[in-house]
């Protein structure tokens, strides 16, 4: 079984590249890019600026690229660098429409199962958290997200009336994050917003989000193997040219 440590060892040659948030000059002042730009260069493709998934080469899976880019822009600096282990797995991942749809469902379903429950627990909704964890399929998970949206909104309103600001903050986060989870069933970028909404209120969210990305990358066509040393050389050459 591959451990996180094994994965980091395998990708050690490219881990000196710094992932950056948002749009920026290529490469950034510390030799960095966003995750999709790094994946383009590492694969030997001509560099292009990525501001949205529509800017990615056709060989990139749109749902995977959207989720990865969403995490890249939402994660704090230290956690963002953990995404480097996925850089060599994006180019060549595009697949048939039904596979891309399955990836989108997976991202949304697992966000409800794994990201919402810790937030619901913190907001005092443990029964709903437990139901989210065992959602049998996408339809059930969507129903749980809609329930969380309603209950979070009601709790937030009630807490505001009592001036219970901390309770209200947790409840409001539930409502906002559940709304993102609902949208994630049609827009995979919103699955990253689920993690972004929960992370300030619960521990381990970013690790769970990267686990979800890893699982989604395992669905359908896998990216062709790229030698990490060759990828490092391409990234270093791009940095030197800049």
Lowest mean pLDDT segment, chosen from 71-80, 129-138, 139-148, 228-237 = 228-237
- In angstroms, the CA 10 to CA 32 distance is 20
- Report, as an integer, the average pLDDT of 155-160: 74
Confidence grade of residue 11 (pLDDT, cut at 50, 70, 90): low
Residues in contact with 227: Cβ distance below 8 Å, sequence separation at least 6, in sequence order: none
Given this model, what pLDDT does residue 164 score? Answer: 67
- Report, as an integer, the average pLDDT of 102-120: 97
- Report, as an integer, the average pLDDT of 185-192: 96
Phi then psi dihedrals of residue 170, to 5 deg: -65, -45
| Cα→Cα distances 43→38, 156, 203, 229, 232, Å | 9, 47, 34, 11, 10
Given this model, what pLDDT does residue 165 score? Answer: 63
Given this model, what pLDDT does residue 25 score? Answer: 67
Confidence grade of residue 75 (pLDDT, cut at 50, 70, 90): very high
Confidence grade of residue 78 (pLDDT, cut at 50, 70, 90): confident
| Cα→Cα distances 122→62, 118, 131, 147, 175, Å | 33, 6, 15, 16, 13
Give the angle subtended at the CA of 65 by the CAs of 187 and 181, to the nearest 5°. 30
HEC profile of 172-192: HHHHHHHHHHHHHCCCCHHHH
Confidence grade of residue 1 (pLDDT, cut at 50, 70, 90): very low
Confidence grade of residue 169 (pLDDT, cut at 50, 70, 90): confident
DSSP 44-111: TPPP---SSGGGS-TTB-HHHHHHHHHHHHHS-HHHHGGGGGGGGGSBT----HHHHHHHHHHHHHHI
- Report, as an integer, the average pLDDT of 154-171: 74
Residue of higher predicted confidence among 242 and 133: 133
What predicted TM-score, i.e. pTM, was given to this entire model?
0.88
Closest CA to 223 of 59, 12, 15: 59
Given this model, what pLDDT does residue 30 score? Answer: 61
Given this model, what pLDDT does residue 24 score? Answer: 63
Closest CA to 188 of 118, 122, 47, 93: 93
pLDDT over threshold 80, residue 173: yes
- Which residue is listed with tokens 């560099």? 47
């Amino acid at each position: 079984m591959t451990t996180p440590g094994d994965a980091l060892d395998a990708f050690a040659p490219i881990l000196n590249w710094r992932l950056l948030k948002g749009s920026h000059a290529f490469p950034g002042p510390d030799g960095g890019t966003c995750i999709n730009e790094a994946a383009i260069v590492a694969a030997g493709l001509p560099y292009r600026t990525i501001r949205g998934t529509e800017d990615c080469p056709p060989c990139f899976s749109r749902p995977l690229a959207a989720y990865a880019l969403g995490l890249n822009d939402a994660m704090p600096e230290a956690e963002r660098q953990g995404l480097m282990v996925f850089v060599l797995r994006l180019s060549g991942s595009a697949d048939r429409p039904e596979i891309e749809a399955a990836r989108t469902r997976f991202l949304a379903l697992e966000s409800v199962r794994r990201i919402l429950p810790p937030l619901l627990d913190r907001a005092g909704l443990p029964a709903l958290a437990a139901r989210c964890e065992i959602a049998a399929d996408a339809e059930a998970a969507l129903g749980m997200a809609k329930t969380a949206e309603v209950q979070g909104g009601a709790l937030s309103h009630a807490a505001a009336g009592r001036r219970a600001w901390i309770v209200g903050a947790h409840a409001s986060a539930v409502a906002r994050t559940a709304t993102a989870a609902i949208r994630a069933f049609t827009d995979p970028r919103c699955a990253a917003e689920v993690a972004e909404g929960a992370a300030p209120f619960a521990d381990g969210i970013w690790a769970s989000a990267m686990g979800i990305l890893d699982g989604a990358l395992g669905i359908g066509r896998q990216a062709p193997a790229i030698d990490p040393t060759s990828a490092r050389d391409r990234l270093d050459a791009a940095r030197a040219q800049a």
